[in-house]
Amino acid sequence: AAPRLQYLLEPLHAAVHTQRGATATLPCVLRALPRNYRVKWSKVEPSNYGENVIIITNGLYHKNYGPLSPRVRLRHSHRYDASLTITDVALEDEGRYRCQLVNGLEDESVSLTLHLEGIVFPYQPSNGRYKFNYHEAKRACEQQDARLATYQQLYKAWTEGLDWCNAGWVLEGTVHYPIINSREPCGGHRLLPGIRTYRAKDKQRDRFDAFCFTSALQGQVYFVRGHLSFKEAGQACRNHGAAIAKVGQLYSAWKFSGLDRCDGGWLADGSVRYPITTPRQRCGGLPDPGVRSFGFPSKELRTYGTYCFAGT
């Protein structure tokens, strides 16, 4: 059993829910001030279980460390308060944090999880399925204004209806696919719904798709009509002072702003997609809401409208 906390208060809620771009505070409050003490905040990294120090304070002075440095501060709303405030929350801030009281020989800590509200989407490149090793999958999500989803995020997406037959990497370096309707090509009818897991994989050699995660947008996605080649689509967005939207931005606009369009439009990766919030017969006929894809049509020969993204 964990030793009883002498100085730190057990947090009321172990998880803090937030969105990208918001300000979030992870609570850590002392019930008494030891004579000489330091409080150390760190973030636990999922891929190697290492810890990155974020901030250290002795109550009077503090020092920030690492890439989070410009966006973190101690809330310090009273003298017992060592809570950590993160401004302009980014996708990679999701995860586990530790507030550790270092007091001579005794130290104690509390753990908190920062959860971003968001959406998971499967992603494969234009040259077909199972093309990414782990590092390429990670990069591909980042190029789509997303990041590789964590296993937890994939699990939540599965409980919310994600049903996908292709296996993809998640942030921890493992490979899974979420199944709701058991069927022949996806492990067979007999297997119960769930998240299928592949055995340990080689991050360099083994190739799969990616499961990406994105959250709320700072900006908006809108549709520009026209019969545009891929090149003209990029130009049309620039003419509006915007950029051609990335896949993650379209998913985010669909999920958080209810973007609903029956028109296929170009996206930055050369794919053509459209977001449906209210399914109807003439929009692809599928019964569930979602972002539909026409794949990667010829960039010169095929013409569509385009989805543009204007940042705030």
Cα 269 to Cα 132: distance, rounded to the nearest angstrom: 15
In this structure, of 33-42, 47-56, 244-253, the range with the lowest mean pLDDT score is: 47-56
Give me the residue label for tokens 């439009």: 265
pLDDT reported for residue 291: 96
Do 12 and 109 share a structural domain?
yes
Do 228 and 203 share a structural domain?
no
Do 102 and 12 share a structural domain?
yes
pLDDT reported for residue 87: 98
CB 31 within 8 A of CB 7: yes
Residues 99-158: tens digit of each pLDDT: 999 987 778 999 999 999 999 999 999 999 999 999 999 999 999 999 999 999 999 999
Residues contacting residue 172 through CB under 8 Å, at least 6 positions apart: 46, 47, 150, 151
Do 126 and 110 share a structural domain?
no
CB 239 within 8 A of CB 265: no
Do 228 and 205 share a structural domain?
no
DSSP label of 48: T
List the structure tokens of 183.
Answer: 């069927």
Q: Could you count the other beta carbons within 10 Å of the beta carbon of residue 172?
A: 17
Residues contacting residue 235 through CB under 8 Å, at least 6 positions apart: none
Domain hosting residue 276, numbered range: 216-311
pLDDT reported for residue 285: 85
Do 226 and 156 share a structural domain?
no
Q: CA 84: distance to chain centroid?
A: 21
Residues contacting residue 103 through CB under 8 Å, at least 6 positions apart: 7, 34, 36, 37, 38
Do 73 and 39 share a structural domain?
yes
Residues 235-287: tens digit of each pLDDT: 999 999 999 999 999 999 999 999 999 999 999 999 999 999 999 988 888 88
Do 126 and 97 share a structural domain?
no
- pTM value? 0.90
Residue 2 resides in a domain: no
Do 110 and 12 share a structural domain?
yes
Question: Which string of DSSP letters, residue by residue, matches 208-261?
Answer: BEEEEEEE--SEEEEEEEEEE-HHHHHHHHHHTT-EEPPHHHHHHHHHHH----
- State yes or no: pLDDT of 1 exceeds 60: no
| Torsion angle in degrees (nearest 10) through CA of 126, 130, 135, 138 | 60
CB 265 within 8 A of CB 274: yes
List the structure tokens of 159.
Answer: 């409980």
Instruction: Give how many domains the chain has, as a whole number.
Output: 3
Residue 177 resides in a domain: yes
CB 190 within 8 A of CB 231: no
- State yes or no: pLDDT of 47 exceeds 70: no
Residue 230 resides in a domain: yes
pLDDT reported for residue 189: 82
Residues 168-219: tens digit of each pLDDT: 999 999 999 999 998 888 888 888 899 999 987 899 999 999 999 999 998 9
Do 131 and 106 share a structural domain?
no
Do 70 and 16 share a structural domain?
yes
CB 151 within 8 A of CB 47: no
Residue 1 resides in a domain: no
Residues 150-174: tens digit of each pLDDT: 999 999 999 999 999 999 999 999 9
List the structure tokens of 50.
Answer: 């290492």
CATH of the domain at 130: 3.10.100.10
Q: Tell me which of 167, 197, 215 is where a domain ends.
A: 215
Do 76 and 13 share a structural domain?
yes
C-alpha closest to that of 135 among 77, 207, 194, 186:
207
